[in-house]
Amino acid sequence: MVGVACALEMIHTYSLIHDDLPAMDNDDLRRGKPTCHIAFDEATAILTGDALLTLAFEILSSIEPNDINDALKWLRVIKIIAIAAGYKGMIKGQIKDIASEGNPLGLEDLEQMHALKTGALIEASIITGAILGNGNFEQIEQLKIYAKNIGLAFQVVDDILNVEGDPVVMGKDVGTDQARKKSTYPSILGIEKSKEFAKNLVNNALQALDYFDNKADPLRAIAHYIVDRKK
């Protein structure tokens, strides 16, 4: 389980490094520090992202299964993560994001884009944990509902913070979405309706966890954090 968590964080970090590149969002700050291409150079940032992505799958494929059933489970986990990180997931979402700059999206298209760009890896993280924890079909289905809702809620809150967040607290610039003419939830719904939408998504996620006992409290805490966060 630790290896999977490490691999997922490597994929996440790679995606942030590449997302900050001049060819993407061209951001100077990430978590209050210079982005990788600013601290070093663009080539180093590209190669660092590549290295993290490939190392993630090296780690995932290095875990030795106990038997054939365990091996099949690990193959399923690797496939889920590969799809989430690949052209059907994050990469497709990023392409849609770039293509939408200056081309306003409708709410449905915006949700689809963020389900790929942000939600796919969040969902993969939760589902792979459920699989490795020997969750049954119904448990995994409820966790999928939870994951889809918190994944979208995370992005809605991200869009809100880009409008009214504190750059000192966030560790990155605000107002960049409007400057790039990106379609966001505040630009389509307005700030207050976006906040209401985020709360509804989190409530949907929490309802999905009603299937579980207090062992799911850490997931409940994550859902609350997503809607209350300031960075």
pLDDT at 175 (0 to 100)? 85
Hey, what are 119's tokens?
Answer: 């939600």
* 46 confidence band (pLDDT: 50, 70, 90): very high
Is the confidence at residue 176, as pLDDT, over 90? no
pLDDT at 149 (0 to 100)? 96
CA 204 – CA 15 distance, rounded (Å):
27
DSSP 87: T
Is the confidence at residue 230, as pLDDT, over 90? no
Hey, what are 155's tokens?
Answer: 């992005």
Work out the average pLDDT over 155-167: 91
Q: Helix count (H) and strand count (E) of the chain?
A: 13, 2
Would you say 128 and 80 are in contact if contact means Cβ atoms under 8 Å apart?
yes
CA 37 – CA 136 distance, rounded (Å):
44
Is the confidence at residue 222, as pLDDT, over 90? yes
Whole-number average pLDDT of the chain: 93
What SS3 class is residue 29? strand
Contacts of 35 (CB under 8 A, 6+ apart): 17, 20, 27, 28, 29, 45
Structural domain boundaries of the chain?
Answer: 64-228
Is the confidence at residue 1, as pLDDT, over 80? no
Superfamily of domain 64-228 in CATH is Farnesyl Diphosphate Synthase (1.10.600.10)
CA 111 – CA 118 distance, rounded (Å):
10
